[in-house]
Amino acid sequence: MEGILRSDVFKITVYTVGAILLGALLTPPLYWMGSGLYESGFFAGRKFLGTDLHDELRRADLARYFNRAMMLAALLGLWPAIRWLGGSPRDFLLLEANPRRWGHLGGGFFLAAGGLLLLGWGLVAGGVFVPNPKAKPVVEAFFGALVSGLSVGAIEEFFFRGCLLGLALRTAGERAAMIFVAVFFAAVHFLKPPEDLVMPDPVAWTSGFWLVGNIFHQFMEPVFVAAEFTTLILVGWILGYTRLRTRSLWLAIGLHGGWVFGIKLFGALTRRARGIGETLPWIGKDLKSGLAAVAVVAITGALVWAWLTWLERKEVVADA
């Protein structure tokens, strides 16, 4: 028993569960703070990188605050977790300078965004989605999606593939560590309630824990898992693979940013024209859910493998 309590697996498990519980606890005060800022009109008429901050606060529900609280809790707990495991952040990153960083960043972005947008074009051509008449101007939607993609890609890759995968590699081999982080990555992105869930009103200190119960209940639904969870696990696996193969985060950031960009841009410019029941399990509620998305992500992963292999062979020939 004592050996289990001292093991890295136990410590990482405590860190994970602690982040979820702390996130649930932080959700209500973050929600109250955001609601207060909206009601005061503090951000009215103010924009940041093209984003209307006042409108963002208006549209933010309890689920969005829970997601942000989870990320904040994970970041707050990261340093204590690293110290508890007996090291420093530099010990876990195991990254090297990448002379191809800009090529990896741009190439990854192009492959990921291009694949998803080609899928989106096919869905529009097939009548599953149609142009949204209430959409923002294309230029505004494009730059909003670009900023969101690159910022989310950089922040999440540093956390998941930089820090968390480094932690997991202390305990297990590369394959097991990649599986653990990929599943954790997918689970974190599913820490949101069903779309038809009625939020508690008023929000209380226990509302975050109430959300946790409703969120994990979704994992009992096979269609839910097949529609989106599988895609995210595959995404996490590919990103982990690129991190280990290139020993850097640049390609992972590019891929992650490209996928987010494609989803955001497509979502901003289109709306669904057919019911979800008509297209499951092949096509879900958006561009990232359904078996068609899984296939596109898998093809992108294969192209990344082929590209990296070609680059390595090219270097060998150049050095010969």
Please give the share of the chain, as a percent, with pLDDT higher than 90.
Answer: 25
Q: Flag whether pLDDT at 296 surpasses 80.
A: yes
CA count, 13 A, side-chain hemisphere, 187: 16
Q: Flag whether pLDDT at 260 surpasses 80.
A: yes
Q: Flag whether pLDDT at 90 surpasses 60.
A: no
Q: Flag whether pLDDT at 13 surpasses 70.
A: yes
What pLDDT band is residue 197 in, cutting at 50, 70 and 90? low
Q: Domain extents for the chain?
A: 96-319
Instruction: Look at residue 243 in the predicted model and tell me its pLDDT.
Output: 94
Instruction: Look at residue 48 in the predicted model and tell me its pLDDT.
Output: 59
Instruction: Look at residue 258 in the predicted model and tell me its pLDDT.
Output: 96
Instruction: Look at residue 151 in the predicted model and tell me its pLDDT.
Output: 87
Question: In this predicted structure, which of 13-17, 79-83, 116-120, 172-176 has the lowest mean pLDDT?
Answer: 79-83
What pLDDT band is residue 112 in, cutting at 50, 70 and 90? very high
Q: Flag whether pLDDT at 139 surpasses 80.
A: yes
Report the pLDDT averaged over residues 73-93: 70
Question: In this predicted structure, which of 67-81, 122-136, 142-156, 213-227 has the lowest mean pLDDT?
Answer: 213-227
Provide the mean pLDDT of the chain: 82
Q: Flag whether pLDDT at 213 surpasses 80.
A: no
CA distance linking residue 314 with residue 320, whole number of Å: 10
